[in-house]
Amino acid sequence: MKLTADLVAASPSYINAIKEYELDLSNNHITQLENLGSTRNLYDALNICTNTVRILGNFPSLPRLLSIYASDNRIASIDRAIATSIPNVRTLVLTGNDLRELSDLEPLREFAHLEYLSVAGNPVASVTYARLWCVWRFASLKVLDFERVTEKERKEALELFEVEGELSALALDILAVQKTNTFVPGEGLDEPVDVDKQQNIAELKARIRSEMAQIEAMDEYI
């Protein structure tokens, strides 16, 4: 389904559990992000869970946007210039997508305020050193895959990926890996709807919001 201005206008919006004004575009069979200028920069959060989006990108200027919930899509790549359009994103939930290499995550480095990131359920999450790489590469992170980043992890990551202020051989090897995912226009668009996945979306959204609310509450006491 095309993401049209009419669909944006007809979709529900509400104050979510962490007091963000959220636009809910989940579960609409959206294949690509487009026409988001019709949101008029009114929302703090964008929920595109359980669609078939393959590329996270094509955002207009949306400086108000703080959170993107994009679980259970087919995201295999991220627009290299994504932070130019949505510079203030601090929460990015990419659980259950198709990101494969650590180098696929490089565009996220441009998010100066990124604090909460989830890549659990992606092939990249199983790559050796994935968690430590994200801790090191995205210095502003507080929580990764719903687990708080520790100072011990920061120190370990620094020792692993830097040598006397320069990138270590391991870091250079990781950055040298090219993307393995290739977007094929039209691929999979006629696949049947996964009913079980649709039934689980409410539970997934509730878990994400509950955990984010707990994290926000923890921050108030730190």
Q: What is the pLDDT of residue 31?
A: 97
**pLDDT bucket at 212, cuts 50 / 70 / 90:** low
Q: What is the pLDDT of residue 177?
A: 83
pLDDT beyond 60 at 157 = yes
pLDDT beyond 70 at 166 = yes
Q: Please state, rounded to an integer, the average pLDDT across all residues of the chain.
A: 88
pLDDT beyond 70 at 205 = no
Q: What is the pLDDT of residue 218?
A: 53
Q: What is the pLDDT of residue 47?
A: 98
HSE at residue 194, side-chain half, CA atoms within 13 A, is 13
Share of the chain above pLDDT 70, in %: 80
Pairwise pLDDT comparison (211 vs 155), residue with the higher score: 155
Using one digit for the tens of pLDDT, what is the confidence trace for 75-109? 999 999 999 999 999 999 999 999 999 999 999 99
